[in-house]
C-alpha cells in the first residue's frame, strides 16, 4: 500500500538579490525540516548549477553568469504551510514586488529570455 503524499509540508519563499545592481529574484522551495535559510541556500546551489553548468537561458541565470555567484545574497521572505498555498503567496508577491529577474513578473514564460 502506498503512502499518501503530505500536503501540509512547510515551504519557503526566498529572495536572491544581486548586491551590485539591486535586482531581485523571488522563488519557492520546500523546507528541509526547520532550517528555512538552509533550504533557500540549497535551492540557490541548484540555481548556480543551472546557470553555470547546465547553461540554462533565463534572465536570472544570465545575471548569475554575468556577475558571478559572489554578487548575490539569499534571504527568506516567508514560510508557508502547504505547496498550493505557497504557490499562491509566491505569485502574489511576484505581482506586487515586480522583481527584475523573475520572468513571470514581466509577462514572459518562465524559460524565455528578455528580448
Total residues found in the chain within this entry? 115
Give the separation between CA 99 and CA 106, rounded to whole angstroms: 9
pLDDT at 41: 98
> Tens digit of pLDDT per residue, the chain (115 long)?
677 666 689 999 999 999 999 999 999 999 999 999 999 999 999 999 999 999 999 999 999 999 999 999 999 999 999 999 999 999 999 999 999 999 865 555 554 444 4
pTM of the full structure: 0.85
Question: Among candidates 71, 89, 93, which has minimal Cα distance to 80?
Answer: 89
CB 41 within 8 A of CB 35: no
Q: How many CB atoms lie within 10 A of CB 114?
A: 11
pLDDT at 4: 66
Give the separation between CA 25 and CA 44, rounded to whole angstroms: 11
Alpha helices in the chain (DSSP H): 36-52, 59-67, 83-97
pLDDT at 106: 58
pLDDT at 107: 58
pLDDT at 108: 55
pLDDT at 115: 40
pLDDT at 103: 85
CB 11 within 8 A of CB 86: yes
> What is the topology classification, in CATH, of domain 10-106?
GIY-YIG endonuclease (3.40.1440)
Amino acid at each position: 500500500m502506498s503512502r499518501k503524499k503530505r500536503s501540509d509540508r512547510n515551504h519557503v519563499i526566498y529572495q536572491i538579490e544581486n548586491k551590485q545592481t539591486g535586482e531581485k529574484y523571488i522563488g519557492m522551495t520546500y523546507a528541509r525540516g526547520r532550517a528555512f535559510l538552509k533550504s533557500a541556500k540549497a535551492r540557490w546551489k541548484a540555481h548556480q548549477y543551472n546557470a553555470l553548468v547546465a547553461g540554462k537561458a533565463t534572465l536570472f541565470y544570465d545575471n548569475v553568469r554575468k556577475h558571478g555567484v559572489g554578487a548575490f545574497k539569499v534571504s527568506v521572505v516567508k514560510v508557508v504551510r502547504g505547496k498550493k498555498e505557497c504557490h499562491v503567496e509566491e505569485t502574489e508577491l511576484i505581482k506586487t514586488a515586480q522583481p527584475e529577474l523573475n520572468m513571470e513578473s514581466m509577462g514572459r514564460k518562465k524559460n524565455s529570455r528578455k528580448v
